[in-house]
Amino acid sequence: MTAQTHVPSAPAPVPAAPKSLQGTGREPWRPRVFRYSLQAALALAMIVLATLVIDTAIDGAPQLDSSFLSNAGSFNPDKAGIGPAIWGTLWIIGVATVLIVPLGVASAIYLEEYADESKWWNRMIEVNIQNLAAVPSIVYGILGLAFLVRGPLSLGPVVLAGGLTLGLLVLPVVIISARESIRAVPAAIREGALALGATKWQTIWRQVLPASVPGIATGVILALSRAIGETAPLIVVGAAAFATTNPDGLDSRFTALPIQIFNWISQPQAEFKLLAAGGILVLLAILLVMNSAAIYLRNRFQQKW
Amino acid sequence: MNPSKTMNSNPRQTAPTVSDEAMTNPSGAAAPVQHSQTLPTGRSIDPDAPVTFDLSKVSVHYGPKLAVDGVDMQIRRNEITAFIGPSGCGKSTLLRCLNRMNDLVTGAKVGGTINFMGEDLYGPKVDVVQVRTLIGMVFQKPNPFPKSIYDNIAFGPKVLGMKGDMDEIVERALTRASLWDEVKDRLKTNAYGMSGGQQQRLCIARAMATDPEVILMDEPCSALDPISTGRIEELMLELREKYTIVIVTHNMQQAGRVSDRTAFFTVEQGGTEGARVGTLAEFNPTQQLFTNPSDPRTEAYISGKFG
């Protein structure tokens, strides 16, 4: 206890503050206006989006039943469905995936791990990939038409041509996102592996690539969900506007969800417009599932360094 | 427990003086016996120990810039050699020349000769992968792979195609790093769940799993707390019996506690444009360097006049 030694003394003098600490109690008008305008901008965006989704859901939800999801196209709105469109979309997305995963990852590894930045041709490739990612999709459609559907490969307007076209369209995006994932693996991991006597190839294949797989997968899924909604290039490569059977191979004719939706909207009868709303809901649902998978992968497996 | 653990922060005040006999004792004094005149590490050094690294007029350029110049030194087998000196003196740069990690830096160029166990390390036919299997490295910041503890250890032996039971190899490496008892029940868990000190010992275990001759350590304790640092220092003293260790440290007390010989590097204005070039100022048995430095710059540095 310090009671015996502590002698209470006079309270220490309090110096006068040079100015009062009290404010007006109100936020000045400039920051307040700024904050309100930010909120208004956000609200406007959300209201527009919500209106579109709700309006579509009101029209489209009653259409969603098993016959709508499985039936083929028909001139009778009561019998028309989007079965072939769903299958067509899955087929072309599958083809695109098979194309972009190996090509995208290989290109990204080359650019990140092997390319010598001081060489002009490597810098040119980089700039070109950035530019290709911004090329309008219809240009890829024309490319697909000229080189895949007709021209050198002459595949015809089939699943393979449609899938390859969409794959080429999103390939730059996949390369860019795969490069970012590979770059995110710290140099310390590469040094650690090399210092143990691993070759460059072993370091990349066994350490760098496994560590960047979640990021690469996320990038691929997001790229594919962009591809799924593409309409213009598929129209150009000649996707069928009207399909009565599901595609059954790489060489079969196909339609796809956005094409089917576009086709229905162009019909004069009101019933087809309701069917289009149903198709939009199916497309949105698929996109939602894919984007959720991407977010899950990113949060669950992405390495925190 | 290492008796030098209690050493005062200034090694000059408490370290026992070293005599000429200890320096010239030819009787193979590599055994860890307590000698009346010993180094801070509790043993005397063998002046005839085989030379592992023989450096002659070594210089390092980064592009046009000269970083280190004119280093002559001999690093001996089963000794701990410490590199100390102020920032920018090139001690880490030199360390990275010893297992050719500098090859990864574009524009890095090594001059002079470095012989490793009689072979030119930079000879035209030398395979850098082979070099690094014999000369392991532990880095400043623990860098475990984002994999299980087991896979971290097994990676080196696997890529080298080492024969034998992998479970045994893993257990042996972890035991040598005195980590086995702490992790034997969670070998399959991710190494990132370990503490920083455990991660660094895992990295040491990983370096040992491939049975190297030498382990290079680049400021291995700079990211660790004092207790983890103490454990790693104890570990180094145990490992000295089997490996040659070269350690870069910013911590002079650490050099005094663990090393047999210390190289003091300094950085000076030199060259045509006043570039800062690292040079080796003094290389002597640790005790001599700390108690009776032969170079006035060493004395100034260890007594805290600069750095």
Condensed to tens digits (0 to 9), the pLDDT of residues B28-55 reads 444 443 333 345 555 677 878 899 999 9
Strand partners, B51: B76
Instruction: Please give the helix or strand (H or E) that residue A61 lies within, else none.
Output: none
DSSP β-bridge partners for residue B68:
B60, B278
* Predicted local distance difference test score (pLDDT) of residue A6: 65
Nearest-Cα distance to chain A for B219, in Å, is 14
Tell me how far apart the alpha carbons of residues A259 and B164 are, in angstroms, rounded to a whole number.
Answer: 60
Long-range contacts of A113-121 (CB under 8 A, 24+ apart): A113/A182, A113/A200, A113/A204, A113/A208, A116/B106, A118/B106
What is the C-alpha separation between B244 and A250, in angstroms, rounded? 62
* Contact indicator for A163, B110 with CB cutoff of 8 Å: no
> Over the stretch B190-235, which tens digit does the pLDDT of each residue have?
999 999 999 999 999 999 999 999 999 999 998 888 998 998 999 9
Chain B residues touching A191 at Cβ < 8 A = 101, 104, 137, 139, 143
| Interface mutation target, options B159, B169, B192, chain A, most CBs of A under 10 Å | B159
Minimum mean pLDDT range among A7-11, A271-275, B143-147, B302-306: A7-11
Query: In the prediction, which pLDDT does B304 show?
Result: 80
Chain A residues with beta carbon closer than 8 angstroms to that of B133: 196-197
Q: What pLDDT sits at residue B19?
A: 40
Given this model, what pLDDT does residue B6 score?
36
Per-residue DSSP letter, A205:
I
What pLDDT is recorded for position A128? 94
Whether the CB of A211 is below 8 Å from some CB of chain B: the reply is yes
B112 neighbors B69 (Cβ within 8 angstroms): no
From the list B256, B125, B231, the residue with the least C-alpha distance to B181 is B231
CB < 8 Å to B207, chain A? 195-196
SS3 A2: coil
Query: Please, what is the angle between helix A270-301 and helix A29-60, to 10°?
Result: 120
**C-alpha angle A104-A107-A108 in degrees, rounded to nearest 5:** 85
The pLDDT assigned to A83 comes to 86
Low-confidence ranges of chain A (pLDDT < 70): 1-8
Looking at chain B, the whole-number percentage of residues with pLDDT higher than 90 is 61
Determine contact: A44 vs chain B, CB below 8 A. Answer: no
Cα angle A133, A135, A139; round to 5: 130
- In this complex, do A197 and B207 lie within 8 Å of one another by their Cβ atoms? no
What tokens does B226 get?
A: 């004092």
pLDDT of amino acid A22: 84
CB B94 within 8 A of CB B85: no
- C-alpha distances (whole Å) from A75 to each of A64, A78, B136, B213 are 18, 9, 74, 80
- The answer to whether A248 faces chain B, any CB pair under 8 Å, is no
d(CA B130, CA B213): 12
Number of H helices, E strands in chain A: 12, 0
Minimal Cβ distance to A196: which of B130, B147, B156 = B156
Q: For residue A182, what is the DSSP state?
A: H
- Tell me whether residues A197 and B160 touch, CB distance under 8 A: yes
Beta-carbon pairs below 8 A across chains A and B: 67
Q: Does A195 touch chain B (CB under 8 A)?
A: yes
CA–CA gap between residue B20 and residue B287 (Å, rounded): 12
Closest chain B residue to A202 measured between Cα atoms? B159
Alpha-helical (H) ranges within A20-133 are: 29-60, 66-70, 83-109, 120-132
pLDDT the model gives residue B53: 95
Do A258 and A229 contact (CB within 8 A), yes or no?
yes
Query: Is the pLDDT at B18 greater than 70, yes or no?
Result: no
Q: Is the dihedral of CA A213, A219, A222, A225 positive or negative?
A: negative
CA-only gyration radius of chain B, Å: 19
Condensed to tens digits (0 to 9), the pLDDT of residues B241-263 reads 899 999 999 888 899 999 999 99
Chain A partners within 8 Å of B99 (Cβ): 195
Angstrom distance (rounded) from CA A160 to CA B124: 51
State percent of chain B over pLDDT 70: 83
Q: Phi/psi at A283 (nearest 5 deg)? A: -60, -45
Vertex B203, ends B201 and B207: CA angle to 5°? 115
In the predicted structure, residue B60 carries a pLDDT above the cut 80: yes
| pLDDT at residue B272 tops 50 | yes
Q: What per-residue confidence (pLDDT) applies to B30?
A: 42
Whether residue A216 contacts residue A222, with contact meaning beta carbons closer than 8 Å, is answered with no
State mean pLDDT over B8-15: 39
Separation CA B249–CA B217 (nearest Å):
9
Residue A303 is predicted with a pLDDT of 74
Q: What global pTM score does this model have? A: 0.80
- Structure tokens that stand for A251 in this block: 């060489």
Q: How many angstroms separate the CA atoms of B210 and B133, rounded?
A: 7
CB-CB contact of B262 with B18 (8 Å): no
Whether A207 and chain B come into contact, CB under 8 Å, resolves to yes
